C-alpha cells in the first residue's frame, strides 16, 4: 500500500511539473468510462455536464465539460445519429451566431459545437474549442449519439 501511495504521489508531482505531459494527455483522451451503451460513438450526460467519444464501448476521449439547453430550449434526450457536419456553420435562427465545428445529430438542428462552457444554449451541446474540433474530426454521418438525462 505504501509503495502505491508513493507512486501515485510521484506521478501527480511529475504531472504537475510538466514531466508527464504525454501521460496526462493519454489519460484525458481515454478517461473514465461513459454511461452510454457500447453502440454509441458519442455520449452526453446532461446531469453531470460531460461528454465522451467512444469506440466499441471503450472511451477514446473524455469526459469533457459541456453546457446544454436552457429552460424552454432543453437538449433532447435519447438515441440519435449524426445527420451532417459543418466546420464554419452560422445559425440562421439566432442572428447568424457562429457555431464552429458543428456536428448535427437531430433533424431539428441540435448539434455539438464550440460554445460557452458558462452559458446554456438553445438546445445544442457546447464544447470547448479543443473538444469541438475532436468531436468534429471523429464523428461521421450515421454515427450513434446518446444523450442521457
Structure confidence at residue 41 (pLDDT): 98
First to last CA, the chain: 38
| pTM of full prediction above 0.75 | yes
C-alpha cell at 125: 451541446
Structure confidence at residue 29 (pLDDT): 54
Residue from 149, 117, 123, 145 nearest 52 by CA: 145
**45 and 148 in contact (C-beta within 8 Å)?**
yes
What number of residues does the chain have? 149
In sequence order, the β-bridge partners of residue 52 are: 43
Q: Which architecture does CATH list for 32-148? A: Beta Barrel (2.40)
Q: What ranges do the domains of the chain cover?
A: 1-30, 32-148
- Scan for cell 442521457, then name that residue: 148
Strand order from edge to edge, sheet including 58-65: 58-65, 50-55, 42-45, 144-148, 78-81
pLDDT < 70: residue spans in the chain: 1-30
Amino acid at each position: 500500500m505504501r509503495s502505491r501511495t508513493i507512486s501515485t504521489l510521484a506521478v501527480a508531482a511529475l504531472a504537475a511539473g510538466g514531466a508527464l505531459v504525454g501521460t496526462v494527455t493519454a489519460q484525458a483522451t481515454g478517461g473514465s468510462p461513459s454511461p452510454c451503451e457500447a453502440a454509441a460513438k458519442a455520449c452526453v450526460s446532461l446531469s453531470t455536464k460531460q461528454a465522451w467519444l467512444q469506440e466499441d464501448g471503450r472511451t477514446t476521449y473524455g469526459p469533457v465539460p459541456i453546457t446544454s439547453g436552457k429552460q424552454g430550449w432543453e437538449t433532447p434526450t435519447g438515441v440519435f445519429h449524426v445527420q451532417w457536419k459543418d466546420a464554419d456553420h452560422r445559425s440562421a435562427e439566432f442572428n447568424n451566431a457562429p457555431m464552429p465545428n458543428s456536428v448535427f445529430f437531430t433533424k431539428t438542428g441540435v448539434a455539438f459545437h464550440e460554445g460557452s462552457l458558462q452559458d446554456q444554449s438553445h438546445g445544442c451541446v457546447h464544447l470547448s474549442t479543443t473538444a469541438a474540433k475532436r468531436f468534429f474530426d471523429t464523428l461521421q454521418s450515421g454515427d450513434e449519439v446518446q444523450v442521457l438525462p
